[in-house]
Amino acid sequence: MSASEPEGICFTEEQEALVVKSWAVMKKNSGELGLKFFLKIFEIAPSAQKLFSFLKDSKVPLEQNPKLKPHAVTVFVMTCESAVQLRKAGKVTVRESSLKKLGAVHFRTGVVDEHFEVTKFALLETLKEAVPEMWSPEMKNAWGQAYDQLVVAIKTEMKPSS
């Protein structure tokens, strides 16, 4: 087994069902939820704003930054779609070229483990608020597991782009 392969993904049918069911409900609000997700990240870790070139010299409030919402939605949707596909594909399904790019960007901007932890917390909080009537410890674990697998895939590609 090569170092880049996650140790057999253990994502159960039940976990998949929870993720798929909740994503079906959240999908239509992905714009609003993506923005909420990023605002939560910056609320927890204001210094994370420095990682985004389009926020560095911005004079407008975060939620009015014209580039934040599109970026937030892209990240949120990619994370959720990756979670939904995890069991079926047996691996994180982000195109390899996208993963390489994600890895290189995260490497270049200086993303560290703590950033991934803050992001996971913000994601789970956003999801919990989005589907309160469905939320359960099992659903939290399912989404957490899916997020962790995506992080493993991104970290594998975190090196200088060649």
pLDDT, tens only, 40-53: 999 999 988 988 88
Rg (CA), the chain: 16
- Alpha helices by DSSP H, listed for 90-136, are 96-108, 113-130
Which of 32-41, 49-58, 75-84 ranks highest by mean pLDDT?
Answer: 32-41
Q: Is the pLDDT of residue 8 over 60?
A: no
Query: How far apart are the C-alpha atoms of 107 and 137, rounded to whole Å?
Result: 32
Paired tokens of 141: 């674990």
Paired tokens of 70: 């599109």
Among 11, 1, 26, smallest CA distance to 93 is for 11
User: What does the mean pLDDT of the chain come to?
Assistant: 84
Mean pLDDT (whole number) for 104-110: 73
CB atoms within 10 A of CB 13: 8
Candidate CATH numbers 1.10.490.10, 3.40.190.10, 3.30.565.10, 1.10.10.10; the one for domain 13-156: 1.10.490.10
Residue 9 has what pLDDT? 59
Query: How far apart are the C-alpha atoms of 160 and 158, rounded to whole Å?
Result: 7
Paired tokens of 67: 């580039």
pLDDT band at 6 (very low <50, low <70, confident <90, very high): very low
Q: Which residues contact 53 (CB under 8 A, 6 or more apart)?
A: none
* 159 or 22: which leads in pLDDT: 22
Q: What angle do CA 24, 25, 26 make, to 5 degrees?
A: 95
Among 121, 116, 126, 123, smallest CA distance to 151 is for 116
Query: How far apart are the C-alpha atoms of 77 and 26, rounded to whole Å?
Result: 10
Q: Is the pLDDT of residue 89 over 70?
A: no
